[in-house]
């Protein structure tokens, strides 16, 4: 089933134009360039711009976006086109501000440049230390804004060397998803901390530990559709909150035929306007030369975001298994609101209140991604539960009265309460839970009942919320 079209109209003009132009030029769904553009804006802000999120609380705008597309559908072309402004900034910094040089002592102390974040000076290598430390390498620490396929330890080192901010991108993120979802994964831990800005220490056996005070990571990953489905089906990643931090979508992209005319190019004016906003945000906020700036939320914007928070709160019990996601939905809306606000106002973002219109646009985007997340997880739940559902249905069908006690399913057949509830919700057209009173007296028993088959004209539960 095709996903609903991405609501490009909710993007500010500069992002809407580059999204539409890139999608038309590369012949891809708009979700691909749109999600990349949102990620680039979030990365350009770095740690220097926040939005009010409650009394005395602030929230950054760094986003984690994960979108699927099959091979041959233009993932790499979209990625390279949309991150080009950040690549240009990175190349400029590597030439004009390549990083510090270790001093003659090689003591590895921190060096600060005027107008630039701190960087870690290179330490002498082992052979030089054994020689008495009289000669040391003079090694520059290169500026790096973007990293691609990277391990957890390498990501920690890169963050230490580059002001604790980075933009992680990948056109084939399947291996990153596998690594991030692994138990005791340094990459998974850093992503969790780099999303929220919490301090973390990565210990090493052969070298000094990496200490990060407030890491800031923005993510834009593309992957094969089955990789996204598999990632969202992992209970571990759901429970530890990693899945909840990602805005996810299936792009439904596909290989398309060529027309009679040669493909055009993205208009120069559209690309320049997009690049100008990225540069303005980076120059004003990324290196936090002037400290972190805060965007105030207008009264109208506050009401919109508050209403959305309360709507999500009402689903806390209904979607018990997805509580890590439910808790993040209001936060995702605020992060998206800050990104949209920054794309509209550039380096003047901290001087303008976040408007009601921007808050509504952000909530619409958050709701679209929420629908994608529920649909994908719901399909995964269906696949995961189907063998157990068949077993439960066969047990009930073989029982007198087409019913079986929940106590017997748990004690004799290894079912859990959560599993039974999910299967009943998944097959609500045929199953229901009810309390059955024993004719001989005593406490009623909770049973699963096989109801009559539902006709073609009867309503069935098909939403992902019902599956969960």
> Domain containing 407 — which CATH number?
1.10.10
Quick one: pLDDT band at residue 358, thresholds 50, 70, 90? very high
- 259 and 184 assigned to the same domain: yes
Counting Cβ atoms within 10 Å, is residue 323 exposed (0-12), middle (13-18) or buried (19+)? middle
Of 19-28, 92-101, 150-159, 457-466, the poorest mean pLDDT is in 457-466
Flag whether 64 is in a domain. yes
- pLDDT at residue 329, rounded to an integer: 97
Q: What is the CATH number for 86?
A: 3.40.50
- 442 and 344 assigned to the same domain: no
Flag whether 158 is in a domain. yes
- 261 and 343 assigned to the same domain: yes
- 74 and 210 assigned to the same domain: yes
Quick one: pLDDT band at residue 262, thresholds 50, 70, 90? low
Flag whether 226 is in a domain. yes
- 345 and 417 assigned to the same domain: no
**pTM recorded for the entire structure:** 0.76
- 217 and 289 assigned to the same domain: yes
Flag whether 332 is in a domain. no
- 147 and 59 assigned to the same domain: yes
Q: What are phi and psi of 247, to 5 degrees?
A: -90, 120
Q: Are strands 216-223 and 64-68 parallel, antiparallel or unpaired?
A: parallel
Number of domains in the chain: 2
**pLDDT surpassing 80 at residue 464:** no
Q: What percent of the chain has pLDDT over 70?
A: 80
pLDDT tens digits along 413-456: 888 876 787 777 667 677 888 887 777 667 788 888 887 543 43
Of 298-307, 389-398, 454-463, the poorest mean pLDDT is in 454-463
Give yes or no for a contact between 86 and 43, defined as CB atoms under 8 angstroms apart.
yes
Flag whether 347 is in a domain. yes
Flag whether 374 is in a domain. no
Q: Which domain holds residue 417?
A: 399-467
**Average pLDDT score over the chain:** 82
Flag whether 128 is in a domain. no
C-alpha pair distances (Å), 418 with each of 38, 149, 321, 448, 468: 37, 37, 9, 13, 10
CB atoms within 10 A of CB 444: 10
Q: Are strands 200-202 and 210-212 parallel, antiparallel or unpaired?
A: antiparallel
- 73 and 181 assigned to the same domain: yes
Flag whether 288 is in a domain. yes
More confident residue, 441 or 364: 364
- pLDDT at residue 441, rounded to an integer: 67
* Whole-number Å distance between alpha carbons of 414 and 433: 18
Tell me what the mean pLDDT of segment 383-399 comes to: 77
- 292 and 412 assigned to the same domain: no
- 222 and 290 assigned to the same domain: yes
Give yes or no for a contact between 74 and 311, defined as CB atoms under 8 angstroms apart.
no
- 182 and 39 assigned to the same domain: yes
- 33 and 158 assigned to the same domain: yes
Tell me what the mean pLDDT of segment 408-415 comes to: 84
The residue with tokens 């808050």 is 359
């Amino acid at each position: 089933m095709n996903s609903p079209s991405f609501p490009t109209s909710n993007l500010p003009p500069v992002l809407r134009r580059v999204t539409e132009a890139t999608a038309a030029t590369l012949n891809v769904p708009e979700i691909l360039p749109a999600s990349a553009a949102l990620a680039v804006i979030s990365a350009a802000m770095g740690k220097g711009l926040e939005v009010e999120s409650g009394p005395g609380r602030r929230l950054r705008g760094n986003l984690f976006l994960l979108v699927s597309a099959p091979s041959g559908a233009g993932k790499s072309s979209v990625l390279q086109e949309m991150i080009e402004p950040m690549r240009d900034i990175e190349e400029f910094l590597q030439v004009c501000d390549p990083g510090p040089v270790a001093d003659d002592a090689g003591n590895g102390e921190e060096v600060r440049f005027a107008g630039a974040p701190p960087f870690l000076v290179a330490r002498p290598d082992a052979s030089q230390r054994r020689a008495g430390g009289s000669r040391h390498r003079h090694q520059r620490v290169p500026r790096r804004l973007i990293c691609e396929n990277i391990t957890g330890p390498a990501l920690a080192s890169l963050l230490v060397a580059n002001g604790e901010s980075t933009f992680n991108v990948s056109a084939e993120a399947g291996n990153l998803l596998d690594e991030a979802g692994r138990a005791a994964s340094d990459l998974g831990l850093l992503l969790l901390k780099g999303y929220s800005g919490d301090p973390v220490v990565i210990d090493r056996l052969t070298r000094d530990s990496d200490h990060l005070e407030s890491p800031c990571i923005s993510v834009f990953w593309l992957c094969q559709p089955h990789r996204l489905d598999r990632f969202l089906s992992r209970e571990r990643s759901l429970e530890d909150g990693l899945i909840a931090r990602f805005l996810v979508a299936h792009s439904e992209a596909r290989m398309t035929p060529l027309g009679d005319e040669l493909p055009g190019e993205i208009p120069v004016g559209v690309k320049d306007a997009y690049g100008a906003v990225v540069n303005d945000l980076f120059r004003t906020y990324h290196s936090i030369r002037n400290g972190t700036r805060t965007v105030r939320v207008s009264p109208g914007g506050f009401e919109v975001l508050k209403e959305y928070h309360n709507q999500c709160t009402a689903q806390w019990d209904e979607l018990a298994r997805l509580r890590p996601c439910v808790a993040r939905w209001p936060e995702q809306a605020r992060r998206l609101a800050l990104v949209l606000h920054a794309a509209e106002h550039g380096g003047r973002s901290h001087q303008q209140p976040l408007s009601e219109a921007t808050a509504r646009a952000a909530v619409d985007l958050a709701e679209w991604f929420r629908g994608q997340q529920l649909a994908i997880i719901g399909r995964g739940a269906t696949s995961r539960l189907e063998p157990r559902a068949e077993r439960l249905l066969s047990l009930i069908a073989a029982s007198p009265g087409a019913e079986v006690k929940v106590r017997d399913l748990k004690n004799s057949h290894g079912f859990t309460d959560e599993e039974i509830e999910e299967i009943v919700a998944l097959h609500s057209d045929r199953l229901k839970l009810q309390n059955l009173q024993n004719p001989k007296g005593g406490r009623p028993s909770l049973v699963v009942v096989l109801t009559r088959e539902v006709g073609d004209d009867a309503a069935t539960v098909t939403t992902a919320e019902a599956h969960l």
